[in-house]
Amino acid sequence: RADILDKRARPVGPLHGIPLAVKDIISTKVMPTTCGSPIYRDHVVGRDAACVAQLVKAGAIVIGKSVTTEFAGGHAGKTHNPHNLRHTPAGSSSGSAAAVADFMAPVGYGTQTAGSVIRPGAFNGVVAYKGTYGWADMTGVKTYAKSLDTLGFFAREANDLALIRAAYGHAPADPPARGVAPRIGLVRTPWWDEADPYNRKNIEEAARTLRAAGARVREWVAPDSWTGLVPAQNRIMTKEATQSYAKERDRFSHLFSPTMKQVMLDGDAVSRRQYADAKKRKRTAVAQLADAWDKFDLLLTPAAKGEAPSGLGNTGDPLFNRFWTLLGTPCIALPFNSGPFGLPLSVQLVGRHGSDDQLVAWARWIEDRLA
């Protein structure tokens, strides 16, 4: 593929010759797609997923499949955090995030159903983007929870996000004019006290730095009712997972990890009424969030509780990602400082539904000021 591209008289697209790591729940034509499960060991789909075909058309070269946790769930894979091999790289898009962090690939595909793009980006110290729900064709991506699954990717800097979006035909938003700064809402969220103290200080330092750079930073207080969004997201996720994996469960449940078996049981326990209530909570919160966009261009909030935890059996807590995934907002993790163990910390930027390109433009502005 690289030799063929080298012979072209001109670039075929914005990603001409760029190596791409593909999360192993995303189908590729000739490479196995195992979904991190022995059920699909050596399974070759025979065609590229729509998102892979899109970047290949733009000139990217698929260099390999990256490790995913089992079915993009909570059972950890074999990837280590390149900043400290004794610490988790998070999940489920662990391999793609670690590959970009370790300079194996400049771009990697991931997916997020709870916190599987933003949290690995934060733990591995790379830029991570989770798009607005429904922004990309998910054909060829193994489904976990249909109403939550969202495509994302990892890169080394915010400028790269604009290039990848361009490969999808999106015209990158112009960088803010000189002297123009964003209106930023600092969202501590109802779970602020769950974040490690050093991470809370880091978010506040980022807010001060951006305010000093000219941004208008004010606090936006999420409604008290948002405390119900985390269990709502989990109910929707587990219930839909029982539907997505009914075939595998029926024939190969003995090959499920204990973690996956528990997900199935949790989903079974969600009643129709509870599922409907979770969906209602989502609709209410989306309407409440609309109030913020009259005041702010983007929101600033934690990307994770803190540094990557030690040990490889636990991928970390997606607490600060679940509710944004439920609301379908575009999110970006930007590295900023390090924690007490020398591991990366990040901030999370959240944009209005469908404002992905503008959020990328503001991320470029913010990245420059936080550097």
* Cβ-contact 95, 48 below 8 angstroms: no
* Cβ-contact 357, 165 below 8 angstroms: yes
* Cβ-contact 121, 99 below 8 angstroms: no
Strands (DSSP E) found in the chain: 19-23, 61-66, 107-112, 127-130, 150-155, 183-186, 216-219, 298-302, 331-338, 344-350
**CA atoms of 203 and 347, how far apart (whole Å):** 6
Among this protein's residues, is 116 annotated catalytic?
A: yes
Among this protein's residues, is 92 annotated catalytic?
A: yes
Paired residues of 128 in beta bridges: 154, 333
One DSSP character per residue, 217-277 reads: EEE-PPPGGGGGHHHHHHHHHHHHHHHHTHHHHHHHGGGS-HHHHHHHHHHHT--HHHHHH
Catalytic residue among 37, 93, 94, 116: 116
* Cβ-contact 176, 142 below 8 angstroms: no
* Cβ-contact 152, 131 below 8 angstroms: yes
Burial (CB count within 10 angstroms: exposed 0-12, middle 13-18, buried 19+), residue 179: exposed
Numbers of helices and strands, H then E, in the chain: 12, 10
For residue 229, the one-letter residue type is L
Catalytic residue among 27, 37, 66, 92: 92
Distances (CA, A) of 308 to 72, 80, 123, 125: 18, 11, 5, 10
Q: Which residues form the catalytic set?
A: 23, 92, 116
